[in-house]
Structure 1
Amino acid sequence: MSDADVTEKPATAAGYQIFRTSEAASLDETAHMEVADMTPDLEAGIGAALEAGFAEGNVVKTLFSQPGFSLTYAWFKSGFPLPLHTHNSDCLYYIVAGSLQLGTDTLGPGDGFFLGAGKAYRYTPGPDGVEVLEFRTQEDFDIKFLAKTLPAWQKISGVISERRSAWADEQPPSSVLS
């Protein structure tokens, strides 16, 4: 098969599909991730975090998805307070640029970690933020926040408020979005 034969296939043909980061929709737009176990306090807490600037501290795009597989790009800005949470699918993380603190380990470009479905985790982006690729074993998955009380979300919102002005001028630690 020649290169011409490959390029003539439609982008949606089985076994062959191109994706471009510059054209990727946000994870919110694709609705592939659903918040599980929503309660009134959790809803109020998420609302407070959003009002404080939660959305300004991260960029998350669905690069590729199909039943049984998804690839997401995430850029979390410096010090972003990623709440303790789980997902209902296995997930493999690969650090493209920047760094993160996961427990006592500092991980940087080329490092990664695997989390099985239901495993609780959080990490803190380093001083330049972090860009990760997230490979999941499902197209649609959930996020279950373990911070469910208003005081927990008020603490998260406080960190967001403190970091928000610094985030305004931050650029991704790589040129993935260029």
Structure 2
Amino acid sequence: MTAKLPPNTRFAIFSAQSATDFEESGLMSTVPLTETEIAGSVAAIDAGAMAGASTRLLFELPGLSLAHAWFKSGFPLPRHSHNVDCLYYIIAGSLRLGTEELGAGDGFFVGADVPYAYVPGDDGVEVLEFRTSNSFDINLLASNAAFWAKAVEGVKAKQADWPAESPPSGLTFGRNSNPAANA
């Protein structure tokens, strides 16, 4: 489990093996969803979307958090924002952000409340997510039924491929050393 460190910590070591599931960390809260976002999210989850992403909390202190996210090829990341600044560093794979193609060693900054979305590349993408807080929200900005219909179609089309995909970096997280099991 990721250690809870006191605010005055001056030195700490963390390990991928002690990373926790991000959803279980309680760091991120969801802004209330619209009816379209609820229906679309449920449909995407029912289609198997959860098998296309994995996010692990690596480190947190008051005012700072670091997570590792792996989005498999074709994962439909909806347009969203967070209420804190975020810095993303691509460690493996690639993504398309607007018209920009970014790969390993590239990154991007997203200010608080700035909407964004990106599309993982053919091998998926692994990013490190640095945030200026250890408590923040996610505000889905995908109240478009057409987006969700396309997302569900995409999940159904890619779902058979996802079990064979492993993180392009080869990194493993948590106690299980099998990357596919950490998805």
Is it true that 1:175 corresponds to 2:175 in the alignment? no
Is it true that 1:23 corresponds to 2:46 in the alignment? no
Distance 1:33 1:171 in 2: 25
Contact residue 11 and residue 17 of structure 1 kept, 8 A = no
Flag the structure with larger Rg.
1
Q: Aligned match of 2:70 in 63, 68, 75?
A: 75
Q: How far 1:31 moved relative to its partner?
A: 1.7
Secondary structure in structure 1 of the residue aligned to 2:164: coil
Cross-structure match for 2:125: 130
Distance 1:78 1:64 in 2: 26
TM-score calculated relative to the size of structure 2:
0.86
Secondary structure in structure 2 of the residue aligned to 1:165: coil
Is it true that 1:118 corresponds to 2:113 in the alignment? yes
Secondary structure in structure 1 of the residue aligned to 2:159: helix
Distance 2:39 2:29 in 1: 16
Distance 1:121 1:104 in 2: 13
Cross-structure match for 2:56: 61
Is it true that 1:47 corresponds to 2:31 in the alignment? no
Cross-structure match for 1:7: none
Q: How far 1:85 moved relative to its partner?
A: 0.7
Distance 2:4 2:36 in 1: 43
Contact residue 5 and residue 61 of structure 2 kept, 8 A = no
Is it true that 1:157 corresponds to 2:147 in the alignment? no
Matching residue's letter, 1:148: S
Matching residue's letter, 2:117: R
Cα RMSD (Å) of the superposition?
1.7
Identity of aligned residues (%): 48
Matching residue's letter, 1:126: G
TM-score calculated relative to the size of structure 1:
0.88
Unaligned runs of 5+ in 2: 178-183
Secondary structure in structure 1 of the residue aligned to 2:11: coil
Cross-structure match for 2:79: 84
Q: How far 1:38 moved relative to its partner?
A: 2.0
Deviates more, 1:10-19 or 1:44-53: 10-19
Contact residue 75 and residue 130 of structure 1 kept, 8 A = yes
| Structure 2 CA distance for partners of 1:63 and 1:145, relative to 1, 3 Å | same
Matches within 5 A, 1:8-19: 12=5, 14-19=9-14
Distance 1:161 1:31 in 2: 29
Unaligned runs of 5+ in 1: 1-9
Cross-structure match for 1:102: 97
